[in-house]
Structure 1
Amino acid sequence: MSEPMQFPLAAVVGADDLKLALCLTAIDPKIGGVLIEGPRGMAKSTLARGLADLLGDGPFVTLPLGATEERLVGTLDLDAALGQGQARFSPGVLAHADGGVLYVDEVNLLPDPLVDLLLDVAASGTNRIERDGISHRHAARFVLIGTMNPEEGELRPQLLDRFGLNIALEGVPAPAERQQIIRRRLAFDSDPQAFCAQWAQAQAQLRDRCRAARERLSDIALDDQTLAWITERCFAAGVDGLRADLVWLRAARAHAVWRGAEAIAEEDVEAVAEFALRHRRRQTPSPENETPPSTGSSAAPGQGGQGDWGALAAQPVAAEARREVPNWAKKP
Structure 2
Amino acid sequence: MTNAFPFSAIVGQEEMKQAMILTAIDPGIGGVLVFGDRGTGKSTAVRGLAALLPPIMAVAGCPVNSARAEDVPDWANLKDSGLIEKPTPVIDLPLGATEDRVVGALDIERALTQGEKAFEPGLLARANRGYLYIDEVNLLEDHLVDLLLDVAQSGENVVEREGLSIRHAARFVLVGSGNPEEGELRPQLLDRFGLSVEVTSPTDIDVRIEVVKRRDAFDRDRDRFGGAWHADDMALRGKIVTAREALAGVEASENMLRDCAELCVALGSDGLRGELTLLRAARALAAFDGAASVTRDHLRSVAASALRHRLRRDPLDEAGSTTRVARQVEEVLG
> TM-score under structure 1 normalisation?
0.83
1:217 match: secondary structure: helix
Question: Quick one: which amino acid aligns to residue 32 of structure 1?
Answer: G
Alpha-carbon distance in structure 1 between the residues aligned to 2:292 and 2:210? 36
- In structure 2, the partner of 1:107 is 137
When structure 1 is superposed on structure 2, of 303-312 and 77-86 the one drifting more is: 77-86
- In structure 2, the partner of 1:22 is 20
Alpha-carbon distance in structure 2 between the residues aligned to 1:42 and 1:53? 19
- In structure 2, the partner of 1:40 is 38
> Is contact 1:285-1:305 (8 Å) kept?
no
- In structure 1, the partner of 2:324 is 308
- In structure 1, the partner of 2:76 is none
Alpha-carbon distance in structure 2 between the residues aligned to 1:229 and 1:133? 52
When structure 1 is superposed on structure 2, of 235-244 and 142-151 the one drifting more is: 235-244
Distance change >3 Å, CA 4–CA 220, structure 1 → 2: closer
Distance change >3 Å, CA 122–CA 158, structure 1 → 2: closer
**1:123-142 matches, cutoff 5 A:** 123-132=153-162, 134-142=164-172
Alpha-carbon distance in structure 2 between the residues aligned to 1:304 and 1:13? 28
**1:140-155 matches, cutoff 5 A:** 140-155=170-185
Question: Residue 226 of structure 2: which of 196, 218, 231 is its match?
Answer: 196
> Is contact 1:25-1:32 (8 Å) kept?
yes
Question: Quick one: which amino acid aligns to residue 170 of structure 1?
Answer: T
Across the two proteins, how many residue pairs are aligned to each other?
Answer: 300
- In structure 2, the partner of 1:50 is 48
Question: Quick one: which amino acid aligns to residue 234 of structure 2?
Answer: A
> Is contact 1:73-1:93 (8 Å) kept?
yes
When structure 1 is superposed on structure 2, of 262-271 and 84-93 the one drifting more is: 84-93
Alpha-carbon distance in structure 2 between the residues aligned to 1:303 and 1:35? 23
Question: Quick one: which amino acid aligns to residue 38 of structure 2?
Answer: R
2:34 match: secondary structure: strand
1:90 match: secondary structure: strand
Question: Quick one: which amino acid aligns to residue 31 of structure 1?
Answer: I
**1:86-125 matches, cutoff 5 A:** 87-125=117-155
Distance change >3 Å, CA 304–CA 5, structure 1 → 2: closer
Structure 1's consecutive aligned runs of 4 or more residues displaced over 4 angstroms after TM superposition are: 77-87, 302-306
Q: Cα offset for 1:235?
A: 1.4
1:61 match: secondary structure: strand
1:279 match: secondary structure: helix
Q: Cα offset for 1:87?
A: 4.7
Alpha-carbon distance in structure 2 between the residues aligned to 1:26 and 1:123? 19
1:311 match: secondary structure: helix
1:135 match: secondary structure: strand
- In structure 1, the partner of 2:310 is 280
Distance change >3 Å, CA 216–CA 123, structure 1 → 2: farther
Question: Quick one: which amino acid aligns to residue 324 of structure 2?
Answer: D
- In structure 2, the partner of 1:180 is 210
Structure 2 unaligned regions, length at least 5? 55-86
Alpha-carbon distance in structure 2 between the residues aligned to 1:43 and 1:144? 17
Question: Quick one: which amino acid aligns to residue 199 of structure 2?
Answer: L
> Is contact 1:122-1:143 (8 Å) kept?
no
Identity %: 50
Alpha-carbon distance in structure 1 between the residues aligned to 2:149 and 2:120? 21
1:247 match: secondary structure: helix
> Is contact 1:104-1:145 (8 Å) kept?
yes
**1:160-239 matches, cutoff 5 A:** 160-239=190-269
> Is contact 2:119-2:164 (8 Å) kept?
no
Alpha-carbon distance in structure 2 between the residues aligned to 1:153 and 1:266? 35
Q: Cα offset for 1:21?
A: 0.6
When structure 1 is superposed on structure 2, of 83-92 and 29-38 the one drifting more is: 83-92
Distance change >3 Å, CA 184–CA 258, structure 1 → 2: same
> TM-score under structure 2 normalisation?
0.82
Distance change >3 Å, CA 304–CA 110, structure 1 → 2: closer
- In structure 2, the partner of 1:9 is 7
Q: Cα offset for 1:240?
A: 1.4
> Is contact 1:53-1:207 (8 Å) kept?
no
Alpha-carbon distance in structure 1 between the residues aligned to 2:318 and 2:162? 58
> Is contact 1:32-1:123 (8 Å) kept?
no
Distance change >3 Å, CA 108–CA 179, structure 1 → 2: same
2:144 match: secondary structure: helix
Question: Residue 249 of structure 1: which of 269, 275, 279 is its match?
Answer: 279
Structure 1 unaligned regions, length at least 5? 287-301, 320-332
> Is contact 1:129-1:136 (8 Å) kept?
yes
